[in-house]
Amino acid sequence: MARATRHTGDIVDVLTTDHREVEQAFADYERGGLSDEQRRSLADHIITELVRHSVAEEQYLYPAAREKLSDGDEVADKELREHAEAEEVMKQLEGMDVTDAEFDRLMGRLIRDIRHHVEEEERDLFPRLQEVCNADELMDLGNKIQMAKKVAPTRPHPSAPDRPPANLILDPGAGMIDRVRDALSGRNR
pTM equals: 0.86
**Is residue 6 domain-resident?**
no
pLDDT of residue 151: 85
pLDDT of residue 80: 93
Tens digits of residue pLDDT in 114-172: 999 999 999 999 999 999 999 999 999 999 999 999 987 777 666 665 666 545 555 55
**Is residue 3 domain-resident?**
no
- Measure the CA–CA gap between 87 and 10, rounded to whole angstroms: 26
**Is residue 112 domain-resident?**
yes
**Is residue 142 domain-resident?**
yes
pLDDT of residue 20: 97
pLDDT of residue 1: 40
pLDDT confidence tier of residue 17, bands split at 50, 70 and 90: very high
Residue 86: which domain range?
11-185
**Is residue 22 domain-resident?**
yes
**Is residue 104 domain-resident?**
yes
**Is residue 139 domain-resident?**
yes
- Measure the CA–CA gap between 103 and 114, rounded to whole angstroms: 16
Task: Check pLDDT > 90 for residue 24.
Answer: yes
The number of folded domains in the chain is 1
With a CB cutoff of 8 Å and minimum separation 6, the contacts of 59 are: 144, 145, 148, 164, 167, 168, 171
Query: Residue 144's domain is classified under what CATH number?
Result: 1.20.120
Give all strands (DSSP E) within the chain, no chain letters: none
**Is residue 98 domain-resident?**
yes
- Measure the CA–CA gap between 46 and 21, rounded to whole angstroms: 9
With a CB cutoff of 8 Å and minimum separation 6, the contacts of 163 are: 58, 62, 63, 80
Instruction: Tell me the three state secondary structure of residue 142.
Output: helix
Task: Check pLDDT > 60 for residue 42.
Answer: yes
